[in-house]
Amino acid sequence: MEAYKLFRFNRVVIVGGGAIGTALANALAYNEKTETILYSIEPDVVEEINTRRHNTKYFPGVRLMEGFRATTDMEVFRHADGVFMAIPSVAVVDFVRKHASLLPADAAIVNLAKGFGPQGRTISEVLMEEFSFPVAAMKGPSFARELIQGSPTGFTIGCTQSGLWHAFEELFEPTPVYVDFSKDIRGVELLSILKNIYAIAVGIMDAQFNTANLRFLFLTRAMAEMREVMLLFGGKKPTMFKYCGFGDFGLTSLNDLSRNRTLGLLIGKGFFNEQISEKVLLEGKIAVNVFCGHLQRKGRLSDFPILEGLNQIFDGSIDRGAFARKMLSK
């Protein structure tokens, strides 16, 4: 802990000029003591942010704050204290592998992506195994379109180096971002994946019944099963009640801005095919396959009927009606 006692984020680089990367950079602009730089591979996005203070590709009509800049120049990584990865989960590990030599030895790598890394391992675990950088996971109930407007937004910082927690508190103190903390980085990562899976299931049930009683009956079952899966895969009990757990699951499963809930609604209404929400559908299938594969090898899949039912929906062995009957069996 003493090793990080004086650590602070003087310069932060956010990787990814998409929705969440831009929203986080805009939030950090409230902190005048930290230099915030948004790195993007899209020259048009960079130019528009720097010259017009807009990112119309992701936030049409929203004027961005002046307190950050964008760049395509990778030299900015050489003096970064923190690198926040706001790119798709499949790209995070490869990006760090390719550019690790540019980073200072004590730069913190913060993963915002929600998904598995290579070989079905969590992204943070892969980064911690392969590199000596301090690693954190940052997950929570956060719609980018609300954060960009300055809405107070919660995130859990999962980081085994608790000595760094003070630096995150200092970084976000002047911003709309609220943080809680956990050493259970595996649980934080797992919940960010599981909540998307179970939000699909909630959407499927809501589409077929749309009653408050059933919604919260099923939501309770889903949350309980999600918690048991997290524990079986190595997460810790208290993590479920951080922003990354109850908060993110509630937001993702009950709000129609959620892509995963929307996918579930479409499936529940009978519009399931390979074209609808293709990217979200693929992410959901991959995550379900990873968890179900592990559970099958343990002989435990039947203990988790929601996961099992989603797997059957995705492989076409049951339809939405059979899924609903399975979910309501006593």
Residues 20-36 pLDDT 10s: 999 999 999 999 999 99
- Its domain, for residue 288, covers 187-328
Q: Identify whether the C-beta of residue 185 lies closer than 8 Å to the C-beta of residue 137.
A: yes
Is 1 inside a domain boundary?
no
Q: Residue 95, Cβ neighbours under 10 Å: how many? A: 16
Residues 73-90 pLDDT 10s: 999 999 999 999 999 999
Residues 160 and 80 in one domain: yes
**172's tokens:** 């976000």
- Final residue belonging to a domain, choices 183, 208, 231: 183
Could you tell me whether strands 108-111 and 135-139 are parallel, antiparallel, or unpaired per DSSP bridges?
A: parallel
* Cα-Cα end-to-end distance for the chain: 49
- Final residue belonging to a domain, choices 153, 183, 213: 183
**190's tokens:** 């797992």
Residues 191 and 310 in one domain: yes
Residues 121-156 pLDDT 10s: 999 999 999 999 999 999 999 999 999 999 999 999
Residues belonging to the active site: 195
Q: Domain containing 224 — which CATH number? A: 1.10.1040.10
Residues 124 and 248 in one domain: no
Cα separation values, 157 from 59, 65, 186, 242, 278, Å: 26, 24, 11, 10, 30
Q: Residue 217, Cβ neighbours under 10 Å: how many? A: 15
pTM of structure: 0.94
Let me know the angle formed at the C-alpha of 191 by 87 and 222, rounded to the nearest 5 degrees: 130
Is 323 inside a domain boundary?
yes
Number of domains in the chain: 2
Residues 216-272 pLDDT 10s: 999 999 999 999 999 999 999 999 999 999 999 999 999 999 999 999 999 999 986
Residues 168 and 233 in one domain: no
Residues 255 and 286 in one domain: yes
Residues 23 and 165 in one domain: yes
Q: CA 117 to CA 327: how far, in whole Å?
A: 30
